[in-house]
């Protein structure tokens, strides 16, 4: 599997990857001029030890590349992991890269995330969470309609500006921003991917980005089952 649909129109696609659980093991064992040819239980115990003790550099020898299509509000949350990766405690140099499509150069038809009537959430009772229970279908239906009307008005003004000769980089100011889908390539080490997963799979993560984290996990775990399991489990243990 290399493609998972997310939300109403989004997706995550695994473009490329390098290495395996064995790569992690051999990167760790090179200090002793040793190498494994096939992953065994002893190797898995070594991966568990590396994750538990915070010896993370071997996990950075594994690289994954994804294409992601998501609302801007998700992209901007995700971007924090790129700009903060080399400064976060225990992550070190995460070997990350991010390239995003730009409406300065493209004028393809804008696409927007529109929650369905049963997907609007209430304010949270706990300020540490982003949202609460699902609102009534009646309220949700009205909100969906209002959002669609708002988007259509913005798109009409955007297209009118283009037809009037306005450059694309300024005409985009008329587009409602946070729900607009953007496309980007994210290339990251396995350590960095697991750092993202450990935080965005949590129950209090925003539901939309949580859905993308689940897609990343679904695409990645079959490739690196031992490493991903140990890195995520260790992060959970550290937070308890």
What whole-number distance in Å separates Cα of residue 12 and Cα of residue 183?
10
Any catalytic annotation for residue 200? yes
Phi, psi of 159 (to 5 degrees): -65, -35
Residues whose CB falls within 8 Å of the CB of residue 64, separated by 6 or more in sequence, listed in order: 14, 16, 17, 18, 187, 188, 189, 190, 193, 220, 223
Selected catalytic residue, list 60, 172, 183, 200 = 200
Cβ(132)–Cβ(122) below 8 Å: yes
What whole-number distance in Å separates Cα of residue 7 and Cα of residue 89?
31
69, 99, 101, 173, 218 from 12: Cα distances, Å? 6, 15, 15, 27, 10
DSSP of 100-111: E--TTT--PPP-
How many CB atoms sit inside 10 A of residue 145's CB?
A: 12
Residues whose CB falls within 8 Å of the CB of residue 41, separated by 6 or more in sequence, listed in order: none
Cβ(62)–Cβ(190) below 8 Å: yes
* Positions marked active-site: 200
């Amino acid at each position: 599997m290399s493609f998972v649909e997310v939300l109403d129109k989004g997706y995550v696609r695994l473009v490329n990857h390098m290495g395996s659980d064995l790569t992690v093991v051999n990167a760790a064992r090179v200090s002793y001029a040793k190498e494994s040819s096939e992953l065994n239980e002893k190797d898995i115990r070594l991966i568990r030890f590396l994750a538990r003790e915070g010896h993370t550099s071997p996990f950075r020898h594994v690289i994954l590349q994804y294409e992601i299509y998501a609302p801007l509000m998700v992209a901007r949350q995700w971007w924090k992991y790129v700009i903060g990766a080399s400064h976060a405690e225990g992550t070190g140099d995460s070997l990350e890269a991010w390239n995003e499509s730009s409406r300065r150069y493209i004028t393809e038809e804008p696409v927007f995330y529109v929650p369905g009537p049963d997907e609007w959430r209430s304010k949270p009772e706990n300020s540490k969470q982003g949202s609460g229970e699902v609102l009534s279908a009646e309220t949700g239906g009205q909100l969906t309609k209002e959002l669609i009307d708002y988007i259509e008005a913005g798109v009409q003004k955007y297209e009118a500006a283009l037809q009037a000769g306005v450059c694309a980089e300024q005409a985009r100011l008329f587009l409602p921003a946070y729900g607009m889908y953007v496309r980007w390539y994210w290339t990251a080490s396995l350590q960095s991917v697991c750092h993202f997963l450990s935080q965005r799979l949590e129950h209090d993560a925003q539901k939309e980005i949580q859905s993308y984290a689940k897609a990343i996990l679904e695409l990645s775990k079959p490739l690196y089952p031992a490493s991903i399991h140990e890195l995520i489990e260790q992060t959970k243990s550290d937070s308890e």
